[in-house]
Chain A
Amino acid sequence: MKDLISSTAAKLTEMFGRGALSPTEFLKAQTEFARRAEPNVRAFIRILDENEARLGVADRPDDSGARRKLFGVPIAVKDNLNTKAVETTAASRILKGYVPPYDATVVRLLKEAGNPVIGKANLDEFGMGSSTENSAFFPTRNPWDPRLVPGGSSGGSAAAVASLQAPVALGSDTGGSVRLPAAFCGIVGFKPTYGMLSRYGLIAFASSMDQVGVLARSTSDVALAMNTMSAPDPLDSTCQAGETDLFAAVQDFARLRGAKVGVVKELSRPEGLDAPVCANLNASIDAMRRAGIDVREVSVPLCDLALECYYIINTAEASSNLARYDGVKYGMRMEGADLAQGYIDVRTRGFGAEVKRRILLGTYVLSAGYFEAYYNRARTVRRAIKEQLDAALAEVDFLVSPTSPTLPFGLGERIDDPIKMYLGDICTVVVNLAGMPGISLPNGMSPPDSEHPKGLPTGLQIIARRFDDARILAFARFYEEISGHGYVVPPMVEEELAK
C-alpha cells in the first residue's frame, strides 16, 4: 500500500478502472495515512470518517462523457468550499458550527464522478493570507520543514498533497493562493481562467478574482480533475466552461509546435528575489531553449503597480462580501444589548486581525471621499494591466516568471508585517487581475544544507491567454518532461512512509 499512497491520481484511476484496486480499499488506506501524518503537518481542519467521506459519492464510474475523469480518487477540499452536511468554516471563528445544506458545484461534480472527500483543508481565514498562519484554528506546517510556512491561502490543500495525505486537492486562488503554496510545497498548482470552473458554493472573498483551483503531484492529475469539474453551471453566471478534454490535451504536444515564451522582466527580478529562485528560473529558461522553444524577454511595465491595485480591489470586494456575517444567518451568534450592538460584537469577536484590517481598508477605499482616488483608480490600472498582458501574449504564447520571489519562510517571520507578507504575492496577482490561467510547477530545489538535505522547492509560474487552459496544461506537461523536475517526496514524509 506504501507505493499506492505515493501514486499519481492518473495511475490510481487506471487501476480502479481495470479492477486491480478498489476505491473503498484505497480510501481506507489513504485516510489511515492522512491521520498518521497529520500531527506533523496539520493540513486539515477535519479529516472525515469513511461514511462522511462517501456521502453522496457515486459508486461506479460516470460513463456519460467520453472524457477521462477522476473516478475513485479521494480529494482534499479547502474549507471555504461548501460540503453538504459537513461543517465548513473558511477557517474563521465567525463560521464555526456552520453546516451547509448543499455542496459547492465543483464538489458535487466530483462526488457524482465517484470522488470521496477525505477532509476539509486548512486555510488563511476566508483566503486572506499567504502563509496559512491566519487560520483561526492553527497554522499548517510545510512538509519540507515544519518550522516553515506552506504558503497560502490554500496551504492546507498544498501540504496535504505534498505530504501524501491526498492525491489531489481543491483550493481557491484570488491572488496566488493555489500557486504560491504549490511552489512552497513542491507540487503543481493550477488556477484556471476566471469562469472555467463554477464558483457556486465557494465562500466569497473578492468575487471578481476568486477562482477554484487544483493542486496535485503532476499536470496530468490536474487535467483529470479539471475534466471532472469543468462544466457549465446555471448557478454561476460567470461560468463559461467548455467541453475540452484537458487530459487528452496534455498528452498532445503537437499543439505546442512553434510556441514562443516570454520571460516577464518586471516579475523576474522583483525586490528581495532569493538567489536559488533566480538560478532555477534561469535553468528553466535554458531547458526550454535546449528543447527548441523560442524564449525572449517581454516587458509589462504596470506589473510594478499590480500589488497595490490588487490590494485595493480585493479589500473593497472583501468589505462588501463579508458584510453578510452579522451573527444572524450563519455561525457565531451573540446577544447584544440591541441588534446593532449584536452585529458589532459578533464581527469584532468572530473575525481575525487580518480580516478586520482588510475590511477596514476596503471600507476606506470605497468611502465617498476616497472612492475616486483609490478604488476607481485601481480599476483603471487593472484595465491597463490586462491590456499590457494581452499585448505581451499577442507576441508570445506563454509568459513565465518565478511563482514566489522567495523560498518558504519561517512560521511567525512575517505575521506582524502585513506589507512584507503581501510582497510574497508580487508575481501571482497579475494573473487574477486579468482573469488569465496560471500554473505553478516544481522547477528545482535550493542547494542542500545541513537542515535541508534535499534543499527546498521552488516554483515556475506559466501564464497564458484567457481560455487557453488546454494549451497551458499541455505546455506545463511538456516542461515537466524536458526539465525532469517534478514532485519529490519530502524527507519527513519518507520517514512516515517507512514506519
Chain B
Amino acid sequence: MDATLFDGLCNLARLSLPEAERADFQAKFADLLKFVERINAYAGMGGDPLVQREELPAAPDEPQPFNFDDRAGLSFKVPSIIDFGE
C-alpha cells in the first residue's frame, strides 16, 4: 500500500506507528482494503442509504489546527465558548 496514503491516514487519526510495527500494519491494512473493496459488487444497483439521504459537504482531509495554545503550567487554556465582547 502507498506509504504516503498510509502516513496521511495516521496523521488524520492522530496515530504514529513505530517503525517496527509499520510493515506488518501496512500489510494487514492492505488486506482489509481488499476485503472491503467487495462492497463495490453492489455498484450500480441503485437505492438510498439507510439514513441521511442528502449529500453531506466533505471537509478537506486535513487535521484541524489546535486553537488553544496558551498554557498555564501543566494545563491548557481553553478559549471561551461564548464571546462576551470584551
- Residues of A at under 8 Å CB distance from B? 208, 302, 305, 308-309, 311-312, 319, 323, 326, 328, 335, 338-340, 343-345, 347-348, 351, 353, 356-357, 359-361, 363-365, 367-369, 371, 373-374, 376-384, 386, 418-419, 422
Question: Which residues of the partner chain B approach A208 to less than 8 Å between Cβ atoms?
Answer: 51
Say how far B45's CB is from chain A's closest CB, in angstroms: 8
The answer to whether residues A339 and B68 also contact, given A380-B49, A383-B50, A419-B31 and a CB cut-off of 8 A, is: yes
B61 surroundings in chain A (CB, below 8 A) = 367-369
Q: For chain B residues 60-81, which have a beta carbon within 8 Å of chain A?
A: 60-61, 66, 68-69, 74, 76
Q: Is the CB of B49 within 8 A of A308?
A: no
What are 10 contact pairs spanning A and B, CB under 8 A? Answer: A305-B42, A311-B35, A335-B74, A339-B68, A345-B16, A356-B13, A360-B29, A361-B36, A367-B12, A368-B60
A302 CA to B21 CA, complexed, in Å? 36
A418 and B15: CB pair below 8 A? no
Complex CA gap A305/B42 in Å reads 8
Chain B positions within 8 Å of A323 at CB level:
14
- Additional pairs, 5, CB under 8 Å, beyond known A302-B42, A368-B58, A377-B39: A308-B38, A347-B13, A356-B15, A364-B9, A379-B52
Which of A308, A371, A383 makes the CB contact (< 8 A) with B36? A308
Residues of B within 8 A of A (CB): 9-10, 12-18, 21, 25, 28-29, 31-33, 35-36, 38-43, 45, 47-52, 58-61, 66, 68-69, 74, 76
Query: In the complex, are the beta carbons of A311 and B42 less than 8 A apart?
Result: no
B40 CB to nearest A CB, Å? 7
Contact A357 B29 (CB under 8 A): yes
Question: Which chain B residue lies CB-closest to A375?
Answer: B49
A323 to B12, CA, bound (A): 10
Q: Is the CB of A373 within 8 A of B48?
A: no
- Contact B17–A348 (Cβ < 8 Å): yes
Across the interface, which residues of B come within 8 angstroms of A379, CB to CB?
A: 49-52
Min CB–CB distance A366 → chain B (angstroms): 9
Query: A328 to B42, alpha carbons, bound, how many Å?
Result: 42
B13 touches A319 (CB 8 A): yes
- B15's partner among A328, A340, A348, A376 (CB-CB below 8 A) is A348
Contacts of B43 in A (CB 8 A): 377
A368-B59, A377-B42 known; A360 vs B50 contact (CB < 8 Å): no
B39 and A381: CB pair below 8 A? yes
Which residues of chain B are near A374, meaning CB under 8 Å? 36, 39
B41 cross-chain contacts in A, Cβ below 8 A: 305
The residue in chain A whose Cβ has the minimal distance to the Cβ of B46 is A380
* Contact present for B13 and A359 (CB under 8 Å): yes
A306 vs B65: C-alpha distance in the bound complex, in angstroms? 37
Known: A308-B38, A339-B76. A380 touches B58 (CB 8 A): no
Pair B39/A378 contact, Cβ less than 8 Å:
yes
Give chain B nearest CB distance to A426 CB in angstroms: 12
Closest B residue by C-beta to A371: B58
- Known pairs A311-B35, A348-B17, A378-B39; A363 contacts B50 (CB<8 A): no
Q: Are A344 and B32 closer than 8 Å at their CB atoms? A: no
Closest to B59 in A: A368
> Which residues of A sit under 8 angstroms from B68, Cβ to Cβ?
339
In the complex, are the beta carbons of B49 and A422 less than 8 A apart? no
CB contacts (< 8 Å) of B14 on chain A: these are 323, 326, 340, 343-344, 347
Q: Which residues of B contact A326 (CB under 8 A)?
A: 14
Q: How far is the CA of A261 from the CA of B39 in the complex (A)?
A: 29
Return the chain A residue nearest B60 by Cβ.
A368
Q: In the complex the two chains form, what is the Cα distance from A382 to B50 in whole Å?
A: 6
